[in-house]
A and B are shown apart, each in its own frame.
Chain A
Amino acid sequence: MAAVATVSSASGILAMLQEPAEELKLHALASLNSVVHLFYPEISTSIPTIESLYEDEEFDQRQLAALVVSKVFYYLGELNDALSYALGAGPLFDVSEDSDYAHALLAKALDEYASIKTKASKGIEEEENVDPRLEAIVERMLEKCILDGKYQQAMGMAVECRRLDKLEEAIVRCDNINGALSYCINLSHQYVNHREYRFEVLRCLVKIYQTLPHPDYLSICQCLMFLGEPETVASILDKLLSGSNDDALLLYQIAFDLVENENQAFLLNVRNRLTSQTPEPNPDSGLAEPDDQAGNAGTGSTEPSGDVQMRDDTATPNVSAHSVDPNEVARADRLAKVKGILSAETPIQLTLQFLYSYNRSDLLILKTIKQAVEMRNSVCHSATICANAIMHAGTTVDTFLRENLEWLSRATNWAKFSATAGLGVIHRGHLQQGRALMAPYLPQSGAVGGGSPYSEGGALYALGLIHANHGEGIKQFLRESLRNTSAEVIQHGACLGLGLAALGTADEEIYEDIKNVLYTDSAVAGEAAGIGMGLLMVGTASEKASEMLAYAHDTQHEKIIRGLSLGIALTVYGREEEADTLIEQMTRDQDPILRYGGMYALALAYRGTANNKAIHQLLHFAVSDVSDDVRRTAVMALGFVLYNEPEQTPRIVSLLSESYNPHVRYGAALAVGISCAGSGLSDAISLLEPLTSDVVDFVRQGALIAMAMVMIQTNESFDSRVGTFRRQLEKIILDKHEDTMSKMGAILASGILDAGGRNVTIKLLSRNKHDKLTAVVGLAVFSQFWYWYPLLYFISLAFSPTAFIGLNSDLKVPKFEFLSHAKPSLFEYPKPTTQQTTTSAVKLPTAILSTYAKAKSRAKKDAESKANQEKATEDASGSTSSKAAKTQEKDADAMQVDNAAEKKAPEPEPTFQILTNPARVIPTQEKFIKFIEGSRYVPVKPAPSGFILLQDMQPTEAEVLALTDAPSTVAANTGTAAAPGQQASSAMAVDDEPQPPQPFEYTS
């Protein structure tokens, strides 16, 4: 047959539907079903006929009719109707059919089911309303996925549809249970928006974990941490305490991972529970409410604890069985170590050692800034001090300050306060020596008028910064200082300090103390008190918030209202839906300052959730509020909500960044800065670039700071725009006619760009995707610097060291090598300082200081210094291979800069690099990290950075320790003594101006 006949119209079949005979109708329906994809427009006009067939109880092929109608509706785009008829089609609707129709309707069915389930979980009565047919379809679908081995799909659907029973089934039937579980954990963090439900999922996962023969304790403890169940964690740790050596490593690793999430209240609780050996009934062992735990932890560090039912059967018999001495000793030793880790002493000390010995901060940049800034301009002056503090955050290197004491003394009043507080940033984490270091500035109990209240207040604030989130040891002292003073500046410092030290502990007594300060109704002290209360109560969602809100309505002082509204916002940190009432209350307030606090509340309650509702609300306020402050904050708050998906932020705020309103532009800049911090994201940089040359000065300021936050630890060979940005900063700082605001921004940006001796980054998410409470809170308060410059120092809370620190079972750092499978130049420290001198030398004639002759002499000295440096580097090059590689790099750079020098053929760059423990591993580098097979140590978990416990495969051989205690003792014991040693070399440099500090100081 020549031509294949096809029907051109369905009218014939439709006509057949009208026939009186049943068989004909059936035949017509069957035919329609087969041609519906071609003739749905024609059929759609006859839908009523087919529907009436479906509704006809007598008709024995109602389901077929339903299927046909459903298909027509699907083609017409009426998915709701299509779905309801597909349900009517019963078994005729084939779940496994591979057609667009089936796919679309299944998706629709899942959505529908999920949304019904979600609604049902809110109002319990509606639970019964789920259409059983819908449920049947979903279950068929899940079953099929599991049978086909598409476990991830099944898990995703089960989570989405709130079918934990099916989730469990999918996981248990999966061939790779551990993989499935970790996938689910990821899933619950990324896609489960509802907090309560996320907890349910996690609880379910923990339950499955515990049934496994070899539970993955690392993951379990992470889950439990999310759930806030310290007693279970404690019991797991306890079990591991009496296990083998491997268990001990695992134990330490768990402890380190928990510490990384920075939840002080939780950690304290776990630690306290580990303390008591004798199980005693704990009044609130059953409660999982964070408030209660926080309360426990705060009020009684001696409180008897321990979970008990579990420990009774597991740990206790164990202990009694092995009552032999060595075991007990080992156990005690381990217990001490774990407690050391959990109290964050060990990690902080290791970090301190790392930051101290790897400090690469560039004093020359600071010197340039110092010289460029006018003496009388106190804003830029204190910005410079702040930049110094940020650059040396946590390194304990205060050389710059010591060398410029006279210059420093120009800081008066609040500038003095800030300058003193800056010391706290520099010595951050210096827990043992912190108080001794600050002693000269602290208020003396006997002597009155010993120091200015500003430096005393600043010192208390500094103590808070040093002990931020680990303030067990210091809070008593801070409380006394707060009680013993009536000077509002000191109260200000003490409130901030206390808030920082007791972050999130919800300590009642401290709260009362701060509240008393608040009720003095002094503007200065009250503002700090408001923030302090917030810090104390972070994430507790306590009813204290309403107390604070009431006072905010009472007081006349804007400063106090502002402090309180931020404080209130802090209390609902991470509470998501729970905070909605409070947020609603604040955002509807008549007072713009409270609405502004409401924006922060939204930001913090929904931090890092990318919750659509929150984003929607924030965007609404960003464009519709009458107050510029509220709008600015609303846009900025987007940054907090979106920091778990940094790629999204530039897209969402891109329109806002072109707003006519400079406040909105400023907010957009900071939003990008906050959410993309430390990512070096190209989109973010492209968005910020035009803003750095905005017409309005404060927008430039915000953009510069944000840009620095994004570019932190990115070097020029990774993204060439970093170099451009550094030059831009220099230009702004040196430009006499630049506005103070943007100059300040540029100075701070230089500080942030090289923060923490170039070894820290800003991270708001821990490696386990847990939000880092301290960091988020730090950035939130930092963003207040718009009103109050001393709050700039809060940014130090957001810094986390980018280090791989491998530890052996003694928690010492053994020598261990691993691979970074990328070009070394991509991730190395930024170019050496000499380059900057040369550029500044070229610019100097037009700039401030120098005459031509001076410049010339400087150039000469430059050459000399370079020779020195080369010599120095050659000396160092013998030590390790990695150092050698770096030195060569450096050499090559020096050559490029210095044209006069003899030319060497540039060596081809290696494509990999051997790193030695402890090593700087920046976030972008993490994916290139590989561990070398067959090396002596094997990491307990294959993470590319952070604290990693290493398993020693040759325990009999002597270990070579890499990071010895030597530098730390220098650092620890001689806050004063270490500095002179350095001073000797670099003091000259500063005074004689041209000589740069020795770039390499390998104290080992």
Chain B
Amino acid sequence: MDPKLVEVTQLFSRFKAAFSRNDFDTCVVLLSQLKVLLTKFPSLPPSFRQTPNAVEELKLARDIYEHAVVLSVKIEDQDAFERDFCQLKPYYMDTCGIIPPSPEEYPILGLNLLRLLVQNRIAEFHTELELLPASALENPCIKHAVELEQSFMEGAYNRVLSARQAVPHETYVYFMDLLAKTVRDELAGCSEKGYDYMSISEAKQVLMFSADQELQQYITEEHPEWEIKGGCVYFQKAKETQPCKEIPSLQVINQTLSYARELERIV
């Protein structure tokens, strides 16, 4: 067996050991070493060189990246999640039959969908969805994300919140928690558009806060332009004055003159 492959495999088993111990700091260190080692494998994307070890290498690399994704969820690092997922994706999409599909594929894809939902990147969510085959939609992990998105779009936010209880995979919990905040942001946005002002108690109910402090903290962090006055929350948006429409006389004059000049030049 190729010595490099051996080295990576050994390192990876150390990583897995640490991972099962929930020793995430070691994991991160090992992971970055693993990634550097992986760059030495010629059969990995984007080159996909056909080497005798290609299958092993690809499988191993995919495994490493799958772990990396899960690890990023565990350490609650969304940027790392995105980075690792992007690097993992070619193994799912482009290996086309060189290596057998991974059992972790759908859970991770679903996780990614969920992440996009959390980050309110709906367009990308649908792009990702389009890339999946029709059969994949039946998978509980994917289905879960799709249903969430539908509820989210309908505005059935309570269904979204209650779905936390029925997660198909333990890693989903982290994102489901984040989703609640996304829902709150949506609600805040809607309220802002819909009302000029709202009483604090109503606002608390709508935004699902139990205490006034929480509400106030939220407003100062996320919507500093809102104003709490006399037991009501005033949304400043509507008060913005419309800019008065001025007749662009100079522009019109210039244009007319240039037309006249052009007409004169017709040959």
Please indicate whether A and B come from the same complex rather than being unrelated chains.
Answer: yes
Chain A residues at the B interface, C-beta cutoff of 8 Å: 1-16, 18-21, 23-24, 27, 31, 34-35, 622-624, 655-656, 658-661, 664
* Chain B residue nearest in CB terms to A26: B39
Q: How far is the CA of A13 from the CA of B39 in the complex (A)?
A: 11
- B46 contacts A35, CB within 8 Å? yes
**With A19-B35, A23-B39, A624-B264 in contact, do A5 and B95 touch (Cβ < 8 Å)?**
yes
Residues of A within 8 A of B265 (CB): 623-624
Cα A35 to Cα B45 with chains together (Å):
11
Among B47, B48, B88, B267, which residue has its beta carbon within 8 angstroms of that of A623? B267
Q: Is the CB of B86 closer than 8 A to any CB of chain A?
A: yes
| B93 interfacial by beta-carbon distance below 8 Å | yes
Cα distance, A4 to B45, chains bound together (Å)? 12
**Minimum Cβ distance to chain A for residue B257 (Å):** 14
Query: With the chains together, A866 CA to B261 CA distance in Å?
Result: 64
How far is A289 from B97 in the complex, measured between Cα atoms in Å?
Answer: 81
> Which residue of the partner chain A has the closest CB to B264?
A624
Q: Please, which residues of chain B bring their CB within 8 A of the CB of A1?
A: 50, 54, 98
Q: How far is the CA of A984 from the CA of B232 in the complex (A)?
A: 126
A660 touches B267 (CB 8 A): yes
Jot down 17 A-B pairs with beta carbons below 8 A, ordered by A: A3-B97, A3-B98, A5-B48, A5-B98, A7-B94, A8-B93, A12-B46, A15-B82, A15-B84, A15-B85, A18-B83, A24-B36, A34-B47, A35-B46, A655-B267, A656-B267, A664-B267
Which B positions have Cβ atoms within 8 angstroms of A? 32, 35-36, 39, 45-48, 50, 54, 79, 82-90, 93-98, 261, 264-267
Cβ A21 vs Cβ B36 within 8 A = yes
User: In the bound complex, what is the Cα–Cα distance between A660 and B84 (angstroms)?
Assistant: 70
Partner of A15, one of B32, B54, B83, B267: B83
Partner of B35, one of A2, A11, A24, A655: A24
Residue in contact with B83 in the complex, picked from A8, A19, A622, CB distance below 8 Å:
A19
- Tell me which residues across on chain B come within 8 A of A656, comparing CB atoms: 267
Asked if A24 and B39 make an inter-chain contact with CB atoms under 8 angstroms apart, the answer reads yes
Q: Whole-angstrom distance between the alpha carbons of A586 and B93 in the complex?
A: 72
Residues of A close to B36: CB separation below 8 A: 21, 23-24
Contact B46 A10 (CB under 8 A): yes
Select which of B82, B83, B88, B267 is within 8 A of A659 by beta carbon. B267
Contact between chains at B95 and A15 (CB < 8 Å): no
Q: How far is the CA of A658 from the CA of B96 in the complex (A)?
A: 63
Q: CB distance A20 to B86 under 8 Å? A: no
The residue in chain A whose Cβ has the minimal distance to the Cβ of B261 is A624
B96 touches A21 (CB 8 A): no
Contact check, A27 vs B46: say whether CB atoms are below 8 A apart: no
Task: Name the residue in B50, B97, B267 with the highest tally of chain A Cβ atoms < 10 Å from its Cβ.
Answer: B267
Contact A661 B267 (CB under 8 A): yes
A622 CA to B261 CA, complexed, in Å: 14
- Whether B267 contacts A13 by the Cβ 8 Å rule is no
Cβ contacts under 8 Å, B35 to chain A: 19, 21, 24
Minimum CB–CB distance from B175 to chain A (whole Å) comes to 19
B267, A5: Cβ atoms under 8 Å? no
Q: How far is the CA of A11 from the CA of B54 in the complex (A)?
A: 22
Measured between beta carbons, the chain A residues less than 8 angstroms from B79 are 18
Q: Which residues of A contact B266 (CB under 8 A)?
A: 660
Q: Which B residues lie within 8 Å of A4 (CB)?
A: 48, 50
In the complex the two chains form, is B267's CB within 8 Å of A8's CB? no
Residue among B39, B84, B90, B267 making CB contact with A7, cutoff 8 Å: B90
18 new A-B contacts at CB < 8 Å, known A12-B90, A661-B267 = A3-B98, A4-B48, A4-B50, A5-B95, A5-B96, A6-B48, A7-B46, A11-B86, A12-B46, A12-B86, A12-B87, A13-B46, A15-B83, A15-B84, A15-B87, A21-B32, A34-B47, A660-B267
Q: How far apart are B254's CB and chain A's nearest CB, in angstroms? A: 18
Q: For residue B85, which residues in chain A have a CB less than 8 angstroms away from its CB?
A: 15
Contact of B94 among A8, A13, A20 (CB under 8 A): A8
Tell me which residues across on chain B come within 8 A of A23, comparing CB atoms. Answer: 36, 39
| Interface residue from A15, A622, A664 paired with B86 (Cβ < 8 Å) | A15
Closest to B90 in A: A12
Residue of A nearest to B50 (CB): A1
B72 to chain A, nearest CB (A): 12
Contacts of B94 in A (CB 8 A): 5-8
Q: Which residues of A contact B32 (CB under 8 A)?
A: 19-21, 24
Residues of chain A within 8 A (CB-CB) of B45 are 5, 7, 12-13
What A residues does B54 contact at CB under 8 A?
Answer: 1
Contact A2 B83 (CB under 8 A): no
Report yes or no: B46 in contact with A2, Cβ–Cβ below 8 A: no
Q: Complex Cα distance A3/B97, Å?
A: 8
Q: How many pairs of residues, A versus B, come closer than 8 Å at their CB atoms?
A: 84
B267 touches A31 (CB 8 A): no
CA distance A169 to B95 in the complex (A): 55
| Closest B residue, CB atoms, query A11 | B86
With contacts A9-B93, A21-B32 known, is A622 near B48, CB below 8 A? no
B173 to chain A, nearest CB (A): 24
List of A residues within 8 angstroms of B82 by Cβ:
15
CA distance A9 to B93 in the complex (A): 9
Closest to A3 in B: B96
Docked pose: A418 CA to B204 CA in angstroms:
107
The CA-CA distance from A1 to B35 in the complex, in Å, is: 26
Give CA–CA (A15, B87) in the complex, Å. 6
Q: For the complex, what is the distance from the CA of A35 to the CA of B47, rounded to whole Å?
A: 9
Residues on A with C-beta less than 8 A from B264 are: 624
Q: Are B90 and A9 in contact (CB under 8 A)?
A: yes
Bound CA–CA A292/B46 (angstroms): 73
Which of A5, A20, A31, A664 has the most chain B CB atoms inside 10 A of its CB? A5
A623 to B265, CA, bound (A): 5
Q: How far is the CB of A31 from chain B (nearest CB, A)?
A: 5
- Most chain A CB atoms below 10 A, which of B84, B90, B95: B90
Contact across chains for A12 and B89 when beta carbons are under 8 A apart: yes
Q: How far is the CA of A381 from the CA of B38 in the complex (A)?
A: 98
User: Considering only CB atoms, which chain A residue lies closest to B131 in the complex?
Assistant: A8
Closest chain-B Cβ to A181's Cβ sits at a distance in Å of 44
Instruction: Name which residue of chain A comes closest to B37, CB basis.
Output: A23
A14 CB contacts on chain B under 8 angstroms = 86
Cβ–Cβ < 8 Å partners of B84 in chain A: 15
Ranked nearest first, the 6 interchain pairs of A and B with the lowest CB-CB distance are: A15-B86, A27-B39, A659-B267, A5-B48, A7-B46, A623-B265
Q: Which residues of A contact B89 (CB under 8 A)?
A: 9, 11-12
* Interchain CA distance A27-B265 in the complex, whole Å: 59
Instruction: Looking at the assembled complex, report how far the CB atom of A634 sits from the nearest CB atom of chain B, in whole angstroms.
Output: 11
CB proximity of A615 to chain B, nearest CB, Å:
15
Q: How far does the Cβ of B62 sit from chain A's closest Cβ, in whole Å?
A: 12
List the B residue with the shortest CB-CB distance to A657. Answer: B267
Tell me the complex Cα distance, A623–B261, Å.
10
A341 to B116, CA, bound (A): 91
Q: Which interface residue of A6, A20, A624 has the most chain B CB atoms within 10 A?
A: A6
Are the CB atoms of A16 and B87 closer together than 8 Å? yes
Q: Which residues on B sit within 8 Å (CB–CB) of A19?
A: 32, 35, 83
Cα separation A19 to B83 with both chains bound (whole Å)? 8
Residues of chain B within 8 A of A10, CB atoms compared: 46
Q: Closest B residue to A664 by CB, please name it.
A: B267
Q: For the complex, what is the distance from the CA of A664 to the CA of B266, rounded to whole Å?
A: 11
Docked CA distance A659–B266 (Å): 8
Closest to A13 in B: B46
Residues of B within 8 Å of A660, CB to CB, are 266-267
A659 to B46, CA, bound (A): 60
Chain A: CB-nearest residue to B93:
A8
Shortest CB distance A191–B (Å): 30
Complex CA gap A35/B261 in Å reads 51
> Chain A CB within 10 Å — which of B39, B85, B88, B93 has the most?
B39
> In the bound complex, what is the Cα–Cα distance between A3 and B48 (angstroms)?
11
Q: Inside 8 A of A623's CB, which chain B residues have their CB? A: 265, 267
Taken together as a complex, chains A and B put the C-alpha atoms of A12 and B86 apart, in Å, by 4
> Which B residues are CB-close (under 8 A) to A661?
267
CA distance A661 to B266 in the complex (A): 10
* Complex interface: chain B residues within 8 A of A3 (CB): 96-98
A534 to chain B, nearest CB (A): 30
Of listed B47, B50, B266, residue having the most chain A CB within 10 A: B47
